[in-house]
C-alpha cells in the first residue's frame, strides 16, 4: 500500500512523530488518520515508560496569573536537555500544566505527594458515610477504595482530566510530550496562590 503524502504531512504536524513512525502508523491503520494517531499515542506511551528513569536536570519554571489576578501558579517542570527546555512546544506544554493547576487546584503531582493524614481523614469520612448502611466489612472496604480512587482523580495532578482535552489525563498528556521530545520530562513541583488565602 502506498502512503498518501498529504496524510503523512498532516500526521507529522498533528503528532510531532518521525516520518518512519508516521508512515508505519498510516500503513497499519489502512490510511485512517485518526486510527494512525491512536497507534502513535500507544507506541509513544510505551516509549515514554522506557525513558521514565532518566535524570532530568534541565527545565523551566513557569508562572501563570489567572485573569482577574486572584489566582496564580508557579510551576517547575524538568527535562533532560537545555535544547528541549528552550523549545516553544515544551514551554507551551508547561504553561498548559500551570493553567490546569490554576483551574483544578490539585493537592500534589501524584499520589505519593498526598499527605497520609489527608488520606486517613478521607477514609474516616467515607467510613462514617457508609456505617449507617450496615454493609459487610469486605464491601465497606471496596466502597472506601472506590471513593478513594475518585478522590485521587480529583486531587492528583497526573490523574486529572486535562481541561483542554478531557478525553486524556495530565499523565497521558505528559507521556505524549515525553514521546514527542524523546526525553524524560518530570512535573517536579508547584505552588498555587489564591488572593487572601
64 plus 96 within the same structural domain:
yes
Q: Are residues 122 and 28 in the same domain?
A: no
Same domain for 38 and 130, yes or no, is: no
* Residue 101, helix vs strand vs coil: helix
pLDDT of 51: 55
Tell me the pTM.
Answer: 0.70
- On whether both 104 and 75 belong to a single domain, the answer is yes
Indicate the burial class of 14 (C-beta count within 10 angstroms; 0-12, 13-18, 19 or more).
middle
The domain spanning residue 129 has which CATH number? Answer: 1.10.286
Structural domain harbouring 119: 115-154
| Separation of CA 84 from chain center | 18
* Exposed / middle / buried, residue 100 (Cβ in 10 Å: 0-12, 13-18, 19+): buried
Say yes or no: 102 and 41 in one domain.
Answer: no
Q: 154: which 3 cell numbers? A: 480529583
Domain tally, the chain:
3
Q: Are residues 74 and 92 in the same domain?
A: yes
Asked if residue 150 and residue 131 are part of one domain, the reply reads: yes
Range 141-171 burial, b when 16+ CB lie within 10 A, else e: eebbeebeeebbeebbbbbbbbeeeeeebbb
pLDDT at 191: 95
Q: What is the CATH number of the domain that holds 187?
A: 3.30.479.20
15 vs 79: CA distance, rounded Å: 19
For residue 184, give the 3-state DSSP assignment: coil
pLDDT given for residue 185 in this prediction: 92
Cα(185)–Cα(179) distance, integer angstroms: 10
CA distance 90 to 58: 12
Residues 77 and 101 in one domain: yes
Span 135-183, pLDDT tens digits = 777 787 888 888 899 999 999 999 999 999 999 999 999 988 988 888 8
Q: Please report, in tens digits, the pLDDT of each residue of the chain (197 residues total).
A: 677 888 878 877 776 666 777 888 888 888 888 888 788 777 765 455 555 556 667 899 999 999 999 999 999 999 988 899 999 999 999 999 999 999 999 999 999 999 989 999 988 888 887 776 777 777 878 888 888 999 999 999 999 999 999 999 999 999 889 888 888 899 999 999 998 88
Q: What CATH number is attached to the domain comprising 29? A: 1.10.8.10
Amino acid at each position: 500500500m502506498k502512503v498518501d503524502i498529504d496524510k503523512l504531512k498532516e500526521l507529522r504536524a498533528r503528532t510531532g512523530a518521525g516520518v518512519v513512525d508516521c508512515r508505519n502508523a498510516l500503513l497499519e491503520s489502512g490510511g485512517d488518520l485518526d486510527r494512525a494517531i491512536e497507534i502513535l499515542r500507544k507506541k509513544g506511551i510505551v516509549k515514554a515508560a522506557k525513558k521514565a528513569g532518566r535524570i532530568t536536570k534541565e527545565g523551566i519554571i513557569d508562572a501563570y496569573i489567572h485573569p482577574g489576578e486572584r489566582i496564580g501558579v508557579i510551576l517547575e517542570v524538568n527535562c533532560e536537555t537545555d535544547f528541549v527546555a528552550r523549545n516553544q512546544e515544551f514551554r507551551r506544554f508547561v504553561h498548559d500544566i500551570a493553567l490546569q493547576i490554576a483551574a483544578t487546584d490539585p493537592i500534589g503531582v501524584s499520589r505519593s505527594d498526598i499527605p497520609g493524614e489527608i488520606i486517613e481523614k478521607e477514609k474516616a469520612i467515607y467510613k462514617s458515610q457508609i456505617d449507617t448502611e450496615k454493609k459487610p466489612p469486605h464491601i465497606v472496604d471496596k466502597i472506601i477504595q472506590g471513593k478513594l480512587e475518585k478522590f485521587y482523580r480529583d486531587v492528583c495532578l497526573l490523574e486529572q482530566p486535562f481541561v483542554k482535552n478531557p478525553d486524556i489525563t495530565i499523565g497521558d498528556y505528559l507521556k505524549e510530550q515525553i514521546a514527542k521530545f524523546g526525553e524524560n520530562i518530570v512535573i517536579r513541583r508547584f505552588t498555587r496562590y489564591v488572593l487572601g488565602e
